[in-house]
């Protein structure tokens, strides 16, 4: 093909001018605009661009990377492309036009191969970009709506499941619940542990067909009916018959399955029924695990019966109830029942993951879940409920000298006894503080007595009854306006408080039900907060070398409160200069410590200088400050 003649060249230029996309041709090192078509003139109205450098023609785009792109292509000879770049163009009337462009800027080569200039071509894709943005916004709206719905279902599930599992003499109970990995999320699986009037415990796992709010709601109804019947003393058949009648009336409850076990922790005797549900697994203290025979009970609402089986757990044996989600996993092998038995046995024996602080029942629940699910995931909710028979913890008896220095050792012994009973960290915290307050009160008020006795026992109902007894007459302590908080604080920490003065001393009695939380997880990676370690009292300066900004670590009790009060008043010059105190490391804050802080706050209020008390959320000090209302006169902002 030869070189076009003049008439043909004009026709070619006219054809380029009609192209439906933007074209701009720039020549020479200054990139003078030598040609651009009608589509280009349409987006650059009122601009006389021919013969001018491209940087002048589109100067309003200088900060939007387009001008730099033209000169970069001329400098390097390498094309530059962009997809749906947002562009703001100044208009003759002073307004700004927004468009989106997909473009290519390429070198313009001369006949001899040398670089002659740069050619830019672009498509106005504003409509396409707007459609994409609208689609993304709708997707985001639907995603937020889905997340909100899922959160509602998850929250509903958490509210409907038991807040805690009872801690009984001779029995340690634990549960693990892993929410479904599918889009439908929380469903109708549930667990429960109900103490009966005769001192036995009913262990329950159940599964309602389906997922979502309806399944969770039905699960809540079934659980409530079972709990009410068992609280009233119903046996296995009576309790299941009650929920069977409910399933006959509530359509969504039809064909729900239940495993109900009623266990006597003292003797190990148990009765059970598998109403369409997988049979429990027994993990002996030694030897292979075995499944209890299924009782051939029918799913709820289907018109069948509820035969009862009987068995016995020896000391050290662990009973595991579960829902079929643990068996019907995507990654399950050809023998899921055998796999569950092997993994649970290894977890019980401590041959799986290293977790010496967990009970056997807790290891069976949490580690079995993690080890079986981590390879293939899970499509359905999974519930595990384990109970191990253990020797009952004996009554605790502590005889203390009537001296404040003895209180710290008593807290250690109380924590050790509660730990042996299976108490959770929160209950240890509550009872340590409550019993400590009573012991402090006894030491301060008992005149003529040289000993204080603390006794505690775990009743068959799972309630700790603790008494603190002094053996002296009443005496009034040193009068301070901030004292007298011990009994009030104790009453807030426990279920009940009774104080009985007598001629031979005073007996203070508290009652507190123990429970351990089940693990309700949306993933296996949910963290467990670490306990604050106990230690000696220290007062150190925060970063910045300022003695009025300090951190307190260790116990602030009757033995140390005076030191804390004196040291903080010294550093604040009697409250005349602002002060910041970080209490996050205080593992025990007694009423004596609270009184010391109140005195410090009152002094700062008198001097009209700020006092900032800070305790990290969830820390023992923060919980006590919130409980006694001290935070109302402090600022909980970060201490930096």
| Residues 166 and 232 both lie in one domain | yes
CA distance 413 to 36: 90
Of how many residues is the chain composed? 640
> Which residues fall within 8 angstroms of residue 546, CB to CB, at 6 or more apart?
none
List pLDDT tens digits, range 339-372. 999 999 999 998 888 888 788 999 999 999 888 8
Torsion of CA 401, 407, 408, 413, to 10 degrees: 80
362: containing domain: 161-389
DSSP state of 514: -
Q: Say what the pLDDT of residue 136 is.
A: 86
In contact, 231 and 225? CB cutoff 8 Å: no
- SS3 category, 198: coil
The answer to whether residue 199 sits within a structural domain is yes
CA 570 centroid distance within chain? 41
Do 541 and 626 fall into the same domain? yes
- DSSP β-ladder status, 579-589 and 496-502: unpaired
Least confident of 85-89, 379-383, 539-543, 599-603: 379-383
Query: Does 147 reside within a domain?
Result: no
Residues 96, 171: one domain?
Answer: no
pLDDT 10s digits, 133-191: 888 888 888 777 666 655 555 555 556 677 789 999 999 999 988 876 544 455 578 89
State the Cα–Cα distance between residues 24 and 44, nearest whole angstrom. 11
Q: Is residue 505 part of a domain?
A: yes
CATH number for the domain that contains residue 31: 3.30.450.20
Domain CATH code at residue 508: 3.30.565.10
**Which parts of 165-291 are beta strand (E)?**
165-166, 171-178, 187-195, 201-211, 257-263, 269-275, 281-283, 290-291
- Of 389, 409, 442, which closes a domain? 389
- Distance (Å, whole) CA 462 – CA 201: 10
Q: Is residue 145 part of a domain?
A: no
User: 293 and 426 share a domain?
Assistant: no
Query: Residue 300: which of 273, 261, 327 has the closest Cα?
Result: 273
Distances (CA, A) of 477 to 31, 508, 565, 607: 95, 18, 18, 28
Q: Measured between alpha carbons, how far is 462 from 457 in angstroms, rounded to an integer?
A: 10
Distance CA 429, CA 398 (A): 18
Indicate whether 590 belongs to any domain.
Answer: yes
Secondary structure E strands in 91-138: 96-109, 115-124
Q: What is the pLDDT of residue 593?
A: 83
| 287 shares its domain with 368 | yes
User: Is 131 a member of any domain?
Assistant: no
Q: What is the CATH number of the domain that holds 244?
A: 3.60.40.10
> Same domain for 270 and 351?
yes
- Please compute the mean of the pLDDT values over residues 613-620 and round it to a whole number: 84
Q: What is the pTM of this model?
A: 0.65
- pLDDT class of 23 with cuts at 50, 70, 90: very high
Backbone angles phi, psi at 631, to 5 degrees: -65, -15
Residues 479 and 497 reside in one and the same domain: yes
Please indicate, yes or no, whether residues 405 and 379 belong to a single structural domain of this protein: no
> How far apart are the C-alpha atoms of 161 and 223, rounded to whole Å?
8
Listed in sequence order, the residues at least 6 apart from 222 whose beta carbon sits closer than 8 Å to its beta carbon are 190, 206, 208, 243, 246, 247, 253, 256, 258, 300
Give which of 167, 203, 227, 242 is closest to 322, Cα–Cα. Answer: 203
Same domain, 292 and 266: yes
Residues 487 and 505 reside in one and the same domain? yes
Centre a 10 Å sphere on the Cβ of residue 494 and count the other Cβ atoms it contains: 21
Which of residues 109, 124, 139 is at a domain's end? 124
Q: What is the pLDDT of residues 470-525, one digit of tens each?
A: 876 555 455 444 444 667 778 888 899 998 887 777 899 999 999 988 776 655 55
Note whether residue 137 is domain-resident. Answer: no
**In 111-235, alpha helices (H):** 126-160, 212-231
Q: Would residue 132 count as lying in a domain?
A: no
For residue 602, the domain's CATH number is 3.30.750.24
Question: Of 516, 540, 570, which residue constitutes the final position of a domain?
Answer: 516
Residues 342 and 280 both lie in one domain: yes
Q: Are residues 410 and 485 in the same domain?
A: yes
Q: How many domains does the chain have?
A: 4
């Amino acid at each position: 093909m030869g070189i076009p003649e003049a008439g043909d060249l004009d026709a070619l230029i006219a054809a380029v001018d009609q192209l439906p996309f933007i074209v701009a041709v720039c020549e020479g090192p200054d990139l003078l605009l030598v040609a651009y078509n009608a589509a280009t003139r349409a987006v650059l109205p009122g601009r006389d661009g021919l013969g001018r450098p491209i940087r002048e023609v589109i100067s309003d785009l200088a900060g939007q990377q387009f001008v730099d792109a033209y000169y970069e292509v001329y400098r390097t000879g390498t094309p530059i492309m962009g997809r749906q770049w947002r562009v703001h163009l100044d208009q003759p009337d002073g307004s700004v036009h927004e468009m989106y462009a997909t473009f290519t800027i390429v070198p313009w080569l001369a006949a001899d191969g040398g670089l002659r200039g740069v050619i830019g071509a672009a498509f106005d894709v504003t409509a396409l970009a707007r459609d994409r943005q609208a689609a993304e916004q709708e997707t985001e709206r639907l995603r937020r709506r889905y997340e909100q719905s899922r959160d509602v279902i998850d929250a509903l599930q958490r509210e409907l499941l038991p807040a805690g599992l009872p801690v009984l003499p001779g029995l340690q109970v634990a549960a693990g619940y892993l929410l479904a990995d599918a889009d439908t999320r929380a469903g109708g699986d549930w667990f429960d542990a109900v103490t009966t009037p005769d001192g036995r415990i009913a262990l329950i796992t159940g599964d309602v067909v389906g997922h979502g709010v309806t399944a969770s709601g039905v699960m809540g109804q079934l659980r409530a009916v079972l709990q009410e019947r068992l609280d009233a003393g119903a046996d296995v058949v009576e309790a299941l018959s009650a929920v069977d009648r409910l399933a006959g009336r509530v359509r969504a409850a039809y064909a729900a399955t239940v495993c109900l076990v009623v266990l006597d922790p003292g003797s190990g005797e148990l009765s059970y029924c598998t109403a369409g549900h997988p049979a429990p697994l027994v993990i002996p203290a030694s030897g292979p695990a075995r499944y209890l025979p299924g009782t051939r009970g029918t799913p709820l609402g289907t018109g069948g019966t509820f035969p009862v089986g009987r068995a016995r757990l020896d000391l050290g044996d662990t009973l595991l109830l579960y829902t079929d989600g643990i068996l019907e996993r995507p990654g399950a092998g050809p023998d899921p029942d055998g796999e569950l038995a092997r993994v649970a046995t290894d977890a019980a024996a401590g041959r799986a993951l290293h977790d010496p602080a967990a009970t056997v029942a807790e290891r069976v629940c949490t580690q079995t879940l993690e080890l079986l699910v981590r390879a293939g995931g899970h499509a359905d909710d999974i519930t595990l409920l384990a109970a191990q028979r253990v020797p009952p913890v004996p009554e605790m008896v502590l005889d203390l000298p009537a001296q404040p220095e003895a209180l710290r050792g008593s807290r250690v012994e109380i924590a050790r006894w509660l730990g042996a009973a299976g108490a959770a960290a929160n209950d240890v915290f509550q009872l340590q503080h409550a019993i400590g307050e009573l012991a402090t009160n006894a030491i301060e008020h008992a005149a003529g007595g040289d000993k204080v006795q603390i006794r505690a026992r775990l009743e068959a109902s799972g309630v700790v009854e603790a008494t603190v007894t002094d053996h002296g007459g009443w005496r009034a302590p040193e009068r301070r306006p901030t004292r007298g908080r011990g009994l009030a604080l104790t009453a807030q920490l426990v279920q009940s408080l009774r104080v009985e003065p007598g001629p031979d001393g005073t007996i203070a009695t508290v009652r507190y039900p123990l429970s351990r939380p089940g693990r309700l997880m949306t993933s296996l990676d949910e963290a467990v907060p670490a306990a604050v370690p106990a230690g000696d009292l220290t007062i150190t300066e925060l970063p910045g070398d300022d003695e009025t900004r300090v951190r307190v670590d260790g116990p602030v009790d009757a033995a140390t409160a005076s030191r804390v009060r004196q040291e903080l008043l010294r550093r604040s010059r009697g409250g005349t200069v602002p002060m910041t105190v970080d209490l996050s490391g205080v593992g025990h804050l007694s009423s004596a410590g609270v009184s010391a802080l109140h005195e410090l706050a009152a002094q700062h209020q008198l001097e009209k200088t700020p006092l900032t008390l800070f305790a990290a959320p969830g820390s023992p000090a923060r919980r006590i400050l919130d409980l006694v209302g001290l935070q109302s006169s402090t600022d909980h902002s970060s201490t930096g």
